Structure 1
Amino acid sequence: MNSISFHDTKYALGWARLQTPDLRSPKPVPHVAREHPSHLVLYHQGSMPGNVAAVNLIPETGGAIIVLTNSLALNDTTDWLGELYLDAYLGVRKRNDHVALAKETAARALEWYPRLIKELKSQQIPDT
């Protein structure tokens, strides 16, 4: 796993060992627990057709945040719900606007389908 912050980041057997802030931060993903003391988080994300899961374990407190969904979203909803709950659990004051982020990324994802249809039609060979 690429190091994405000054904190120690490791990955093995499906589990990521991360430090807040900046859990998973390629743009436009929000910075988790920004301007808040650092915490170790053990993270696992699972995905199968029709369901997605995200697990955040906080060893220091013995806490866990588990998000299970029964559908696939247009963005990273499961992770973001876990991060939103993690911010609340840790008592983070400066929280991200996950609703605005979800609207922005869902709109961007929906733009993909018309482009795909246009590309497929341009490559289509009639009567084959």
Structure 2
Amino acid sequence: MTDKYNEILERLTASDQVFAFQEEVHKSGITYREFINAPKTLPAFFEFGLLFPEWEFIVFNNERYTFQEIHKKAAQTANALKDAGVKKGDRVAICMANNPEYIISFMAISSMGAVCVLLNSWWVPSEISYGLENSE
């Protein structure tokens, strides 16, 4: 089993593969691994997901979503935001629990060029007001 595992790992992390990585030393002295062929931008990440639209993208409790399903919901949400007057450069707050809708909202807002203002859903009203009033 170990030989087969190592063989698969070597194939997946070869320098020309998407999971190729290098070790990088941070200025703090901590060494971490960095994927060198991974998408470099958020739009590139979304495009990468479209190469494998039927693969599971999100598993939340008993729910399972493919990238295609999430991408479609994000496009619908982006269209609804545009219809509501949101445009590139506008700030749009997200204040909700970690769930699929959070990711859908983030994808929708960022894909249309608006700016996500991420607020902690555990905040009390005064903290939410502060976050909204001081986001730039």
Q: Same fold (TM over 0.5)?
A: no
TM-score (norm 2): 0.24
Q: Which has the higher helix share?
A: 2
TM-score (norm 1): 0.25
